[in-house]
Amino acid sequence: MSEVLRIIFASAEVDGFSKSGGLADVARALPLHLKQLGHDVRIVTPFYRSIPESHQTETIIHELGVPLGNEEIWCAVRQTELTGSVDGKAVSLPVYLIEHEHYFFRRGYYDDGLHEYPDNASRFAFFSKSVLQLCLALEWIPDIFHANDWHTALLPFYLRQSQQALAEFTKSRSVLTIHNAGYQGNAPVIFRNSLEIAPEYFVAELFEDHGQLNLLKGGIHFADQVNTVSSGYAEEMRTPLGSHGLHQTYLNKGRNFCGILNGCDYDDWNPETDSHLPATYSAADLNGKKACKLELQKIFGLPELTDVPVIGMVSRLTGQKGFDYLLPAMQKILALKLQLVILGSGELWIANSFDELKQEYPQNLGWKNGYDNELAHLIEAGSDMFLMPSLYEPCGLNQMYSLCYGTLPIVRRVGGLKDTVIQFDEAQGPGNGFIFDEPDSSAVFMVVDLAVRTYYQQPQHFGKMINSAMQQRFTWKSAAEKYVDLYYKTLK
């Protein structure tokens, strides 16, 4: 094993090419930081129809045959560069895009807006298998195949299978990072043959789950190392309550399952340099934050008052984020002297509920249904507090962005939120956020009420919390070093 590792990073989303949530942020930042540490890292991801045309891509393989089930599926491979900044220095690395019109030229990545695509298992099994074929075609054999989430959970399995037939991959090892254990890639058993899952693998210890296929479950078994994106979530995943049904599978991995906290991309999310903002600011001079608040209120059509606290939310609209108990608390929350600004996209019933609330509370609810990166930056900067009442949260990136922007997070004590947000404690110090425990409407109301009272009644203390939040750092460098340790561990 050489010091410089060859790593192929396979992800269904990569920020700049495709994004529905934090997986995309990680799939961009982590490879860039691994590259900066001196490793030969390359990304592979699907070529979706929505990938911006501004990317100059070159087709490097016109016909790549991917054997899967009893057929050979043909695709093309495009190549481009991902360029980013790490600690102010430019870093770039190759990105391979797997082009298959039928599988990836669709309206959404995983669904049509209402329903999941029924052939998702086939689409992402094909993608996973294509990663091996691509490496063979390039004659570039990675030390590490790094898979992410259920979409590429079959990659460790296919790697193991091909190690039996091919000499090339004998020394390669796989790492599977679970960003969200709630999505497991369940599929009817009729897919088994076409995914090359032999009958002996369709058992409860491997791919079988309540009579269906569970791609994540089997992938965990076959991966050499498995990790998730915070220690807090890793702990929860070993329990029946927090594992989404797979606690035994995680327990079975023993020391080969761990948590590595994500980093925050401070080159992209930094109030001192953020080009998306009307004004920049720092902990030493918060004037620009006021200008951001006024701009935010203006954009959302709310009264432009700097002395009323603004609570922000930027979120996928889905059960994971706690809307089931947040929505019933909204009327009581909106009766407080505050403004709430929400940007989100996802499930229709949640969006409809906010449409209705907006009619009722035009003076203090700002709501936008959609995906808007620029506005997400403004909400982080212009709000005083940021609400994440998640039912579960593997890591969470928005609370890290909030801390850095001096926007105090209000979070539930779960997963990565409990690893990153510190409750005010008279003995320990100012803390940097507000935390609640129970996943219910009265608990979320009470914590918002406490945060608002602290804002009005203890401005000095609130100021200390802002200062403490802005000093907090979760660097990608530190996270990338932990991944490198994990890679070396698995190659030993």
Phi first, then psi, for residue 129 (nearest 5°) are -70, -35
Minimum distance of ligand ADP from residue 398's CB (angstroms):
4
Nearer of residues 395 and 435 to ligand ADP, judged by Cβ: 395
The two tokens of residue 312 are 């922000």
Stretch that binds ligand GLC, among 64-72, 184-192, 208-216, 391-399 (CB under 6 A): 391-399
Nearer of residues 274 and 393 to ligand GLC, judged by Cβ: 393
Q: Where are the beta strands (DSSP E) in 52-199?
A: 58-68, 71-86, 89-99, 144-148, 173-178, 186-187
Nearer of residues 228 and 280 to ligand GLC, judged by Cβ: 228
Name the nearest CA neighbour of 312 among 259, 257, 260, 372: 372
Name the nearest CA neighbour of 12 among 144, 104, 115: 104
CA end-to-end span of the chain: 8
Residue nearest to ligand GLC (CB): 22
How many CA atoms lie less than 13 Å away from 154 in the CB half-sphere?
A: 30
Cβ atoms 41, 4 nearer than 8 A: no
Tell which positions 147-186 bind ligand ADP, by CB under 6 A: none
User: Which residue of 95, 213, 343, 365 would you call a contact of ligand ADP, by CB under 6 A?
Assistant: 343
Sheet holding 365-369, edge to edge: 365-369, 339-346, 310-317, 385-388, 408-412, 434-436
Q: How far apart are CA 273 and CA 285, in angstroms?
A: 13
Stretch that binds ligand ADP, among 65-73, 181-189, 277-285, 339-347 (CB under 6 A): 339-347
Using CB under 6 A as the binding rule, whether residue 78 contacts ligand GLC is answered as no
- Return all residues near 373 (Cβ < 8 A) that are at least 6 apart: 276
Minimum distance of ligand GLC from residue 236's CB (angstroms):
12
Using CB under 6 A as the binding rule, whether residue 439 contacts ligand ADP is answered as no
Q: What is the pattern of x (binds ligand ADP, CB under 6 A) and - over residues 92-131?
A: ----------------------------------------
Strand pairing of 89-99 and 186-187? Answer: unpaired
Nearer of residues 179 and 289 to ligand GLC, judged by Cβ: 179
Strand pairing of 212-214 and 186-187? Answer: antiparallel
User: Which residue of 396, 406, 430, 431 would you call a contact of ligand ADP, by CB under 6 A?
Assistant: 396
The two tokens of residue 426 are 């008279």
Using CB under 6 A as the binding rule, whether residue 394 contacts ligand GLC is answered as yes
Residue 111 three-state SS: strand
User: Which residue of 71, 372, 438, 485 would you call a contact of ligand ADP, by CB under 6 A?
Assistant: 372
The two tokens of residue 23 are 């997986």
Q: What is the pattern of x (binds ligand GLC, CB under 6 A) and - over residues 343-382?
A: ----------------------------------------
Q: How far apart are CA 368 and CA 344, in angstroms?
A: 7
User: Which residue of 21, 69, 108, 278 would you call a contact of ligand ADP, by CB under 6 A?
Assistant: 21
Using CB under 6 A as the binding rule, whether residue 29 contacts ligand GLC is answered as no
When CB distances are held under 5 to 8 angstroms depending on the partner's kind, the choice from ligand ADP, ligand GLC, none that residue 229 binds is ligand GLC
Name the nearest CA neighbour of 409 among 264, 276, 241, 297: 264
Using CB under 6 A as the binding rule, whether residue 397 contacts ligand ADP is answered as yes
Nearer of residues 134 and 178 to ligand GLC, judged by Cβ: 178
Alpha carbon 441 to chain centroid, angstroms: 26
Using CB under 6 A as the binding rule, whether residue 389 contacts ligand ADP is answered as no
Q: How far apart are CA 178 and CA 217, in angstroms?
A: 11
Q: What is the pattern of x (binds ligand GLC, CB under 6 A) and - over residues 259-278?
A: ---x----------------
Tell which positions 150-209 bind ligand GLC, by CB under 6 A: 179-180
Stretch that binds ligand GLC, among 43-51, 219-227, 392-400, 423-431 (CB under 6 A): 392-400
DSSP string, 161-187: HHHHH-STTTT-EEEEEES-TT---EE
When CB distances are held under 5 to 8 angstroms depending on the partner's kind, the choice from ligand ADP, ligand GLC, none that residue 480 binds is none
The DSSP H or E segment spanning 213 is strand 212-214
Using CB under 6 A as the binding rule, whether residue 319 contacts ligand ADP is answered as no
Return residues touching ligand GLC (CB under 6 A): 21-23, 26, 179-180, 229, 262, 393-397, 416
Return residues touching ligand ADP (CB under 6 A): 21-22, 25, 314-316, 343-345, 371-373, 376, 395-398
